[in-house]
Amino acid sequence: MIQPQTEADEETPEPVVIETITDYYLVLLTKLLENLGEGSNLGITLHTNGGMVYGDLITHDGWEKLWISRVTEASDYVGDVLSQVTQARREDEDADEDDGSRPVRYLHLKDATYVSGTTKYRLDLWRGSIAQVAGWSLGKPNE
């Protein structure tokens, strides 16, 4: 028998946050690298649905500075705007007193090579979603 809803039954349930499951050890490596500081790097090979990418895993801040530098080489104006935006982001993070619990959502590589089939693409900088990484290994393949 179906019972009519009462006021107690009409409570709104708590929203459920769904996070993409990422590799615990890859997140750990990334966070440890971030803790070591901006100049830190680690050779790594990542496998994605589209292919393989390898290079030196670097910190978010290190990647951001290199990226702004490359953009500034092409356009001083755009580089200045990006510098201001990223500075504001850093100040917001400092004000929030980040306790290291911020999730790792992106990986950053320098001196990267992307391999798709038999074709290799040399990339100065690469940024990719950690959720798209299907597998990984330390080090880079012999070329």
Report the largest interatomic distance among the alpha carbons of the chain, rounded to a whole angstrom: 73
Residue 15: the pLDDT is 80
Break the chain into its structural domains and give their ranges: 19-138
* Cα 112 to Cα 42: distance, rounded to the nearest angstrom: 12
Residue 21: the pLDDT is 77
* Cα 34 to Cα 27: distance, rounded to the nearest angstrom: 11
Residue 38: the pLDDT is 83
* Cα 114 to Cα 12: distance, rounded to the nearest angstrom: 47
Strand partners, 42: 57
- Do the beta carbons of residue 45 and residue 140 sit within 8 Å? yes
Whole-structure pTM value: 0.76
Residue 103, number of CB atoms within 10 A of its CB: 10
* Cα 79 to Cα 34: distance, rounded to the nearest angstrom: 24
Residue 48: the pLDDT is 94
Backbone angles phi, psi at 79, to 5 degrees: -60, -40
Mean pLDDT by 10 residues, the chain (143 residues): 60 75 91 90 95 96 90 87 80 59 87 95 95 95 80
Residue 134: the pLDDT is 94
Q: Does domain 19-138 have CATH number 2.160.10.10?
A: no
DSSP state of 91: H
